[in-house]
Structure 1
Amino acid sequence: MIQYSNDKRMLEYGLMKSYPGIFCFSTTRHGGYSTGKYASFNCNSYCGDTQENVLANRQLLCDLLPGTEKELIIPHQVHRTEVRIIDHEFLDRPEAERTSLLEGVDALVTDVSGKCICISTADCVPVMCFDVKHRVVAAIHAGWRGTVARIVTRTLEIMSCTYGTQGKDVIACIGPSISLEAFEVGDEVYDCFKQSGFDMEHIAFRSDKWHIDLWEANRSQLLDFGVLPSNIEISGICTWKENSDFFSARRLGIASGRILSGIMLESV
């Protein structure tokens, strides 16, 4: 069961909290330093907010995270399917190289404790995964383009090849994002999903325009990999409807803040 932190700065996931040494969250709009359409807890530096406010919000977030060692790893997303593994080889690189390697990346995977891998959303779907057997975590940005391209499947396959991850050992959370009722799309988007092989009778309906269920489209990828239905938690929070608590680009415009969803293995 999802719940807010006491200060309402974070949404935490009950399914993940039942496992020791793991922390998983999505930020809200509350309790930060940013103003206007970025008010107030925006940690994304690519959406037009001032660098001063972004850095202050990131430091605040780090202070809220558990453990003795903690670092935010945040990629520059481009709605594609590039997955980056955050291992010791990556972490030992100079800062400029690390920044370059995070360019154009939409999913992160790590087994290194204290490294909070994060993705940014504002209607797109954040998916966080935890392989309880091999203690590997993933943070995935699944906008509609990434969903069509099956970025969740790709990330899980990379976890399997690299660490031996199997679906039966994966816990997954789908965070605040746009709902089926609010995600209205044109025929061209519907056709992309259909051509990609999604069960359109299961994930779409037509009113004046098509509506697509991104939560279910990503949940189906988890299930196809072998993740148990009981091991998937969906927040059920629609960012378009709940835009006073969570950023929504459709409601606020592109020049607005972003939710930061992260997952980390706690350091001791």
Structure 2
Amino acid sequence: MNSPQLTYYHLGAGVTAFSTTRHGGCSKGNYAAFNINGYCGDDELHIAANKVALCGLLDISCDHLVMPHQVHGTEIRRIDEPPHETIEGVDALMTNVPQLCIGVSTADCIPILLYDPRHHAVCAVHAGWRGTVLRIVQKAVTAMGEAYASAPADLQAVIGPGISLDSFEVGDEVYDQFAEAGFDMSLISRHEAKWHIDLPVCNSLQLIEAGVPMANIQLSDICTYQQYDHYFSARRLGIQSGRIYTGILLK
């Protein structure tokens, strides 16, 4: 099996931040080739082998690779040690423990990483359209302040691979939820045959509103729907397909 091929983000010397690609693992079919998510129907042996390969690349033990079972909610969990059971019903994780890799799984939804270099703390956020409407990334900024005294102005952020404005076509009912939540739709939507919504920009605007400087926000500009050969896309491949893992690890 080839080594996992990762997309890395540069946030500073004290942290490793990345998203997995579809390349370098042993999974088959719509899970090919690198998937470590155990909630999407992939073969358990392939998942286990892929996890071992990723942990070897990151130089951590497998119990230090952490991901929640996400539910498109807004619960944020602080992780102070390797969990001994499934992290159920959680869509964001945060930690200040070195060598503990936290991350979220996506396949068109938006993964967001936050790093506080002053207090050496990190957070990984899963923001699908429901989580975006519910402002989960703003809640994560608040949670880091409460847990680690993180100031929004100090945070470095990455908005990872997800579906783009051009590809995210939605019905009126989804558009209406964003409008009713108070977003400026002129900044995050466009109407063609149907409405299109810009989830990366919407989350970026939420970070700015929360006090994170625009200069501190990196957008990957990777559309999973358009680049499904390299990154998993549920809209392209179906729900029974692999997931990207976007993780962050304090050194």
TM-score, normalization by structure 2: 0.96
Distance 1:69 1:9 in 2: 18
Aligned-partner SS, 2:190: strand
Aligned-partner SS, 2:183: coil
TM superposition outliers: structure 1 runs of 4+ over 3 Å: 66-70
Displacement, 1:87?
1.5
2:197 corresponds in structure 1 to 212
1:61 corresponds in structure 2 to 54
Aligned with residue 14 of structure 2, among 3, 14, 21: 21
2:220 corresponds in structure 1 to 235
Distance 2:4 2:24 in 1: 8
Moved more, 184-193 or 60-69: 60-69
1:124-139 matched pairs, under 5 angstroms: 124-139=109-124
Displacement, 1:254?
0.2
Moved more, 159-168 or 175-184: 159-168
1:20-169 matched pairs, under 5 angstroms: 20-66=13-59, 71-88=64-81, 91=82, 95=84, 98-99=85-86, 102-169=87-154
Q: Given residue 147 of structure 2, which amino acid in structure 1 is its aligned partner?
A: T
Q: Pairwise CA RMSD of aligned residues?
A: 1.6
Aligned with residue 8 of structure 2, among 12, 31, 40: 12
When residues 262 and 148 of structure 1 are mapped into structure 2, their CA distance, relative to the original with a 3 A threshold, is same
Distance 1:262 1:69 in 2: 14
Among the aligned pairs, what percent are the same residue?
51
Q: Which runs of 5+ in 2 are unaligned?
A: none
- Contact 2:14/2:117 (<8 A) preserved: no
Distance 1:115 1:61 in 2: 13
Aligned-partner SS, 1:79: coil
Q: Which runs of 5+ in 1 are unaligned?
A: 1-5
Displacement, 1:21?
2.0
Displacement, 1:226?
1.0
Aligned-partner SS, 1:112: coil
- Contact 1:70/1:116 (<8 A) preserved: no
Distance 2:80 2:157 in 1: 21
2:185 corresponds in structure 1 to 200
Aligned-partner SS, 1:162: helix
Alignment size in residue pairs: 250
When residues 69 and 58 of structure 1 are mapped into structure 2, their CA distance, relative to the original with a 3 A threshold, is closer
Aligned with residue 183 of structure 1, among 159, 165, 168: 168
Displacement, 1:7?
6.3
- Contact 1:42/1:259 (<8 A) preserved: yes
Displacement, 1:112?
0.5
Distance 2:62 2:48 in 1: 18
Displacement, 1:66?
4.5
